[in-house]
Chains A and B, each alone.
Chain A
Amino acid sequence: MSVHHLEEKFQQTVDAEIKIEAKDWMPEAYRKTNLRQISQHAHSEVVGMLPEGNWITRAPSLKRKAILIAKVQDEAGHGLYLYSAAETLGMSRDQMIADLHSGKAKYSSIFNYPTLTWADMGAIGWLVDGAAILNQVMLCRTSYGPYARAMVRICKEESFHQRQGFEALLVLSKGTPEQRAMCQDAINRWWWPSLMMFGPKDAESTNSDQSMKWKIKRKTNDELRQNFVDMIAQQIKLLGMTLPDPDLKWNEARGHYDFGEINWDEFWNVVKGNGPCNKQRLQARINAHEEGAWVREAAVAYAQKQANKKKQVA
């Protein structure tokens, strides 16, 4: 079969909403795109453990401590599911991690912002996870089977993440004046970076129609961002807080909220490594990996010794 013919057949399969599986023929660009997207998603989960992990030892009650630990642990699990999905496309986890550590592979820029107060745990859950969930729900229907299945599992587990964040903020919003100020401050700092999570405006992402055509992606950046703004603009009323955007207002004609312009210079700067925490996040991952090397080696050596012993007995 010619490549052209295979590509046609592949597109028909995708159009018929049939999932593509690991051993199926796929265009090289489809494989690469998925590999890049899934591995970057995996890196985002793992690096995303750090800003919240930062507050585990300082959580203000035993209940909050347990919730936070369970949530950060879930992110490790999600990273693991996603690395596994990416491995089906022919790259080892070790290689993906090496690419992360060398700076070749990227992760979501949101995790390069610092978590400065306890209220940031609430704001991350509500805003950052809220933004993530919109994207992830869409990805449950992505065309690559292993990715879609990982996302289904992740979405199931994530459902408590946003809720716990909102609830933590709700408690602060009803608390002391200091707690209320802490709450508003966290929302102020996390609002714009959360909007940036959806990526550049559609007008600037010239090639995104190919990933729509392949059904890797099913909604545009701007569509998802608008969904997010509409959702949050309603929910914030329950907190009695405000979003730091003077241009935010309901547009009756559009049936959506209008909102202000995102600072794209900041976005690209953080992507390029100039965010407040880029260096320390990556360094923390590299340290964990390097300090764990002797442990991983020993486990392999022990497993080999045990296998040899079994052989000798047999």
Chain B
Amino acid sequence: MKNQSNSTVPFILYLADNNLILAQRNSEWCGHGPVLEQDIAITNITLDLIGQARMLYQLAADHINRQNGNQDATEDTLAYLRNEREFSNVLMVELPKGHWGFTVLRQYLFSEFQYLLYRHLSAHADEPLSAIAIKSLKEVTYHVQWSREWVLRLGDGTSESHQKMADAVQDIWMYTGELFQAAPFEDAAVLQSIHTEWKQRISETLEEATLIVPEKVFMQQGGKQGIHTEHLGYMLAEMQYLQRMHPNATW
């Protein structure tokens, strides 16, 4: 996260990819939520994430176009014309949406991370980036609140919901380590301090939700280097097909 131009673009793309891929997953709930009010709620979060992704892709495109001396990159070329190995989002966000409990748990774990990261980036030297972080921080604050409450409700709800959440925690935990493994475009010290605070917040919430924080889990990684799960390919095939099938068309 140092202000070096050779790490700025990959870092911005990393942030953007996380948002877009999670939005794409969450958008699968639209029309299929457990109750109308919550269908609307998760969709609001989806729209926030797409909004953030767009701002970040536009910023990355500006940087790229300046470096290349042309106007070829746009938010859509970056979202629709990069392939599986070029996306650098963490694995966690590309996992299938699962049941409602899995979705809200993933949202919570990710939003807490995003909150801490954006809080740090609010003071970033790249002014457009810090502006995006400041704006997004308000949205993410609500995402944390909303998803945290759902983790509590389901963890400490019925025995059925408790079991489902306990399983979900086990399933997703091995994907949490990657968030804090610094890629070349990240600052390891910053990530480490975020990790400490993240762990503390998550532990408090899971404890209140009568859930156990897993210990000594082997952590999956690779997303930041473009080594993804098999899920991402299908997702991109679906998302990108119109752009790929009609090159240079306007929509």
Contacts and interface: CB of A to CB of B under 8 A. Distances in A.
A296 B47 contact: no
Interface string B14-42: 00000010001001101111111111100
Contact of B31 (A65, A288, A295): A288
Contacts of A70: 47
B76 interface: yes
A186 interface: no
Interface in A60-90: 60-66, 69-70, 72-73, 76-77, 79-80, 83
B32 A297 contact: no
B160 interface: yes
Contacts of A69: 27, 30, 43, 46-47, 50
A179 B249 contact: yes
A296 B100 CA distance: 11
B93 to A, nearest CB: 15
Interface string A275-314: 0000000001001110111111111011101000000000
B40 A178 contact: no
A153 interface: no
Main secondary structure of the interface of A (DSSP, over half): helix
B70 interface: no
B31 A76 contact: yes
A53 interface: yes
B239 A62 contact: no
B121 interface: no
B161 A298 contact: yes
Contacts of A171: 250-251
A296 B101 CA distance: 11
A103 interface: no
A241 interface: no
B100 A73 contact: no
A233 to B, nearest CB: 26
Contacts of B38: 295
A178 B40 CA distance: 35
Interface string B137-166: 000000000000000111011101100100
A107 to B, nearest CB: 14
Contacts of A298: 153-154, 157-158, 160-161
A60 B243 CA distance: 6
B251 A64 contact: yes
B80 interface: yes
B32 A287 contact: yes
B222 interface: no
Nearest to A288: B32
Interface string A215-256: 000000000000000000000000000000000000000000
A297 B17 CA distance: 35
A72 B246 contact: no
Contacts of B152: 302
Nearest to A172: B251
B46 A61 contact: no
A94 B161 CA distance: 21
Contacts of A26: none
B87 interface: no
Interface string B179-190: 000000000000
Contact of A61 (B53, B80, B164): B80
A263 interface: no
B251 A301 contact: no
A64 B76 CA distance: 11
A105 interface: no
B241 A299 contact: no
A46 interface: yes
B171 interface: no
B50 A76 contact: no
B232 interface: no
B50 A292 contact: no
Nearest to B104: A295
The 7 closest A-B pairs by CB, nearest first: A292-B34, A298-B157, A298-B161, A53-B31, A49-B31, A60-B242, A295-B34
Given A76-B36, A288-B32, A294-B160, 19 more contacts: A49-B30, A53-B32, A59-B242, A60-B80, A60-B246, A61-B243, A62-B76, A66-B47, A70-B47, A73-B30, A73-B40, A76-B43, A171-B250, A295-B35, A297-B160, A297-B161, A301-B157, A302-B156, A303-B153
30 contacts: A50-B31, A53-B32, A56-B28, A58-B238, A60-B242, A62-B50, A62-B53, A62-B76, A64-B251, A66-B47, A66-B51, A69-B43, A69-B47, A70-B47, A72-B30, A76-B36, A80-B40, A171-B250, A284-B31, A288-B33, A292-B33, A292-B100, A294-B160, A295-B34, A295-B161, A298-B157, A298-B158, A301-B157, A302-B152, A302-B156
Interface of B: 20, 24, 27-28, 30-40, 43-44, 46-47, 50-51, 53-54, 57, 75-76, 79-80, 99-101, 152-154, 156-158, 160-161, 164, 235, 238-239, 241-243, 246, 249-251
